[in-house]
């Protein structure tokens, strides 16, 4: 019974000792954590500026849009609809794309062809085949969506998607926030590990357990230290 109580006492002492070690080195832990986080921030920022842009293919298709005499504003309505997140969401669902609708929408560009009744839809992607497929579906879904909500005299796809001869350079984003969070976590882990390793290789006698391990005898009692204040 006494041995069990003594073992529990030892476990309690060890836990208190570990907490005490961490608290005594809290400034060191905070300093190292912040330094690693700052390094991650600087590295991410530098990476963003020195990382070369990635060349993407641009595919485009053309829609002929003629509004009725009663509703001439329908062309503008279709123009907004074709470049909307709703259309991008329909494309995502139809092709079962992993990208979010907002990401698809960001790579979509809708513009009016000056002096004509045509609207050109463009889409950029790292793969030329994917760009052509997606821009074709954007055109189809935008026409289908428009026909569901309004009636125009003419609204049809004039041509299948084609690739532009001009490559588009897009700078890939760097997730600075995520990198900084990872840096802070790694800094915290590294600093705590360092503190425990420093304590492990410290030969100074500080606790009852240290005395027993070094002298090979059991401590029967100890005199607690009291403050003289």
Query: What are the tens digits of pLDDT across the range 149-180?
Result: 888 777 888 888 888 888 888 777 888 999 99
**Pair (65, 97) in one structural domain:** yes
Domain presence at residue 224: no
Single out the residue in 151, 170, 189 at which a domain terminates.
Answer: 170
Single out the residue in 170, 193, 224 at which a domain terminates.
Answer: 170
**Pair (38, 15) in one structural domain:** yes
**Pair (160, 206) in one structural domain:** no
Domain range enclosing 165? 54-170
Instruction: Give the range among 24-28, 172-176, 209-213 with minimum mean pLDDT.
Output: 209-213
**Pair (69, 158) in one structural domain:** yes
pLDDT at residue 108 tops 90: yes
Q: What is the CATH number of the domain that holds 106?
A: 3.30.70.1130
- pTM for the structure as a whole: 0.61
**Pair (102, 181) in one structural domain:** no
**Pair (76, 160) in one structural domain:** yes
Domain presence at residue 203: yes
Angle between helix 2-24 and helix 208-215 axes, rounded to 10 deg: 110
**Pair (115, 179) in one structural domain:** no
**Pair (137, 69) in one structural domain:** yes
**Pair (163, 60) in one structural domain:** yes
Overall number of domains in the chain? 2
pLDDT for 155 equals 83
**Pair (69, 142) in one structural domain:** yes
Instruction: Tell me the C-alpha distance between 183 and 187, whole Å.
Output: 6
pLDDT at residue 226 tops 80: no
Please, which residues bridge with residue 155 across strands? 65
Domain presence at residue 221: no
**Pair (62, 84) in one structural domain:** yes
The arithmetic mean of pLDDT across residues 112-134, rounded, is 91
Domain presence at residue 226: no
Domain presence at residue 229: no
């Amino acid at each position: 019974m006494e041995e069990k109580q003594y073992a529990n006492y030892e476990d309690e002492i060890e836990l208190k000792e570990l907490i005490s070690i961490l608290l005594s080195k809290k400034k060191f832990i905070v300093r190292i954590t912040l330094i690693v986080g700052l390094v991650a921030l600087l590295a991410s920022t530098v990476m963003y500026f020195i990382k070369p842009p990635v060349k993407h293919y641009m595919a485009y298709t053309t829609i002929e849009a003629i509004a009725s005499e009663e509703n001439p504003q329908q062309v503008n309505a279709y123009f907004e609809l074709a470049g909307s997140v709703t259309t991008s969401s329909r494309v995502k669902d139809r092709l079962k794309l992993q990208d979010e609708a907002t990401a698809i929408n960001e790579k979509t560009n809708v513009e009016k062809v000056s002096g004509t009744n045509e609207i050109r839809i463009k889409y950029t992607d790292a793969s030329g085949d994917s760009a052509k497929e997606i821009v074709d579906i954007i055109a189809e879904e935008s026409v289908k969506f428009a026909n569901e909500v309004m009636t125009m005299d003419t609204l049809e796809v004039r041509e299948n998607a084609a690739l532009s001869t001009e490559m588009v350079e897009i700078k890939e984003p760097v997730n600075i926030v995520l990198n900084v969070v990872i840096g802070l976590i790694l800094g915290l882990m590294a600093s705590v590990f360092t503190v425990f390793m420093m304590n492990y290789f410290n030969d100074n006698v500080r606790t009852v357990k240290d005395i027993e391990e070094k002298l090979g005898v059991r401590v029967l009692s100890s005199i607690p230290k009291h403050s003289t204040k």
